[in-house]
């Protein structure tokens, strides 16, 4: 019986789950914040175009490479964490954010112009858009493979993880706190921009009824470009936070699994719903950490997708419901 237990393919470890509950919650919220930022790009594009932009994961990894090259240009070397003062760290972070957000934003706009706009002009079927998105994802991925190889870039560490405070005994590090707070602020800014600004009103109008919005003077092509730009900029910010969490994570296919999880988060919260992207991302980050402790580390990714299936079985539109266009136009 003991041998059978040791050979079990699933480890239902309630004790470990309870012991690591709060540390998994803290770490899950940090990862979930990154998922939420990327998920917002999926949600915006779907809300406006009813298109699942599977190439968005490569927009994210483009920003990660941009941030990495910025760190190299600033003189950071692989090895131990750089010894920098607080002002230097802030300056490095701001520059990395600017580079990653600009590169990801521009890449997203170029992707829309090159891959999707010609299809819209020809009134291509939805399936053609989906196939194009998958193809564009592989093209960008392989471009990085050809230029940078299959191995991850050497890790560059800007900030040394240090404990700031504890929550029920769980350590909260400076990196986790920075990622969570900064990501939350960006998501709030994006939400307020879409719901309160004139340009955001145009985005919601096109999402609700593109024909009527055009008749009312809204430039649909400009709105679509703005939607891709916002999604790309947020993906660039997520790339910087990802590098802080996982310094060795810059690799040609590094965006694939993360992009799938972000898409899962968008569907989980309600694809097309901005606040649903935040909720779905945070929930996914926490639940997959819980699953890792309860079932074993190899189940981490599986738990995320099982959660998606369960939610869709009982609420196909996600937790908060679908709709960028129906909400607050």
In a domain, 5, yes or no: no
Q: Which is more confident, 322 or 129?
A: 129
In a domain, 282, yes or no: yes
C-alpha–C-alpha distance, residues 289 and 297, integer Å:
9
> In this predicted structure, what is the pLDDT of residue 326?
54
Backbone angles phi, psi at 19, to 5 degrees: -65, -40
Among 59-63, 178-182, 266-270, name the one with the lowest average pLDDT.
Answer: 266-270
pLDDT band per the 50, 70, 90 thresholds, residue 118? very high
Tokens in use for 188?
A: 């709030």
Note the pLDDT tens digit of each residue in 14-26. 777 788 889 999 9
Tokens in use for 207?
A: 């999402």
Q: Which domain holds residue 128?
A: 14-157+165-314
Decide: helix, strand or coil at residue 172: strand
Tokens in use for 104?
A: 């990801």
In a domain, 58, yes or no: yes
In a domain, 321, yes or no: no
Closest CA to 44 of 213, 211, 230, 183: 230
Domains: count for the chain? 1
Among 30-44, 154-168, 289-303, name the one with the lowest average pLDDT.
Answer: 289-303
Note the pLDDT tens digit of each residue in 139-154. 999 999 999 988 999 9
In a domain, 139, yes or no: yes
Residue 107 is part of a domain; what is its CATH number? 1.10.3470
Alpha-carbon Rg of the chain, whole angstroms?
20
Note the pLDDT tens digit of each residue in 196-239. 888 888 888 888 888 888 888 888 889 999 999 999 999 999 99
Tokens in use for 282?
A: 């945070």
Angle at which helix 198-208 crosses helix 174-196, to 10 degrees, equals 70
pLDDT band per the 50, 70, 90 thresholds, residue 1? very low
Which residue has 């509950």 as its token pair? 21
In a domain, 146, yes or no: yes
In a domain, 322, yes or no: no
In a domain, 1, yes or no: no
Kindly state the DSSP code that residue 73 receives in the 8-state scheme.
H
C-alpha–C-alpha distance, residues 42 and 254, integer Å:
17
């Amino acid at each position: 019986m003991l041998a059978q237990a040791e050979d079990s393919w699933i480890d239902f470890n309630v004790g470990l789950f309870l012991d690591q509950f709060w540390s998994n919650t803290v770490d899950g919220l940090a990862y979930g914040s990154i998922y939420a930022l990327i998920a917002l790009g999926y949600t915006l594009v779907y809300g406006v175009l009813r298109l699942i932009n599977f190439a968005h994961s490569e927009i994210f990894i483009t920003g990660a490479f941009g941030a990495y090259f910025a760190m190299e240009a600033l003189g950071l070397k692989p090895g131990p964490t750089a010894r920098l003062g607080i002002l230097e760290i802030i300056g490095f972070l701001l520059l990395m954010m600017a580079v990653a957000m600009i590169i990801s934003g521009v890449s997203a706009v170029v992707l829309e112009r090159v891959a999707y706009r010609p299809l819209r002009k020809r009134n291509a079927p939805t399936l053609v858009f989906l196939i194009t998105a998958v193809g564009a994802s592989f093209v960008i991925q392989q471009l990085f493979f050809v230029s940078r190889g299959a191995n991850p870039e050497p890790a560059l560490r800007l900030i040394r993880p240090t404990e700031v405070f504890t929550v029920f005994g769980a350590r909260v590090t400076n990196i986790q706190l920075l990622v969570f707070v900064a990501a939350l602020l960006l998501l709030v800014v994006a939400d307020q921009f879409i719901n309160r600004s004139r340009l955001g009103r145009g985005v919601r109008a096109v999402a609700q009824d593109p024909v009527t919005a055009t008749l009312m003077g809204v430039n649909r092509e400009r709105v679509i470009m703005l939607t891709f730009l916002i999604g790309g900029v947020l993906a660039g910010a997520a790339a910087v936070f990802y590098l802080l969490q996982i310094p060795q994570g810059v690799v040609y296919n590094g965006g694939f699994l993360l992009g799938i999880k972000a898409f899962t988060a968008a569907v989980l919260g309600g694809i097309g719903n901005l606040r649903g992207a935040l909720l779905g991302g945070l929930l996914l980050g926490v639940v997959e950490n819980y699953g890792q402790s309860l079932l074993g580390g190899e189940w981490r990714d599986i738990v995320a997708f099982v959660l998606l299936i369960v939610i869709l079985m009982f609420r196909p539109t996600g937790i908060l419901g679908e709709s960028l266009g129906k909400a607050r136009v």
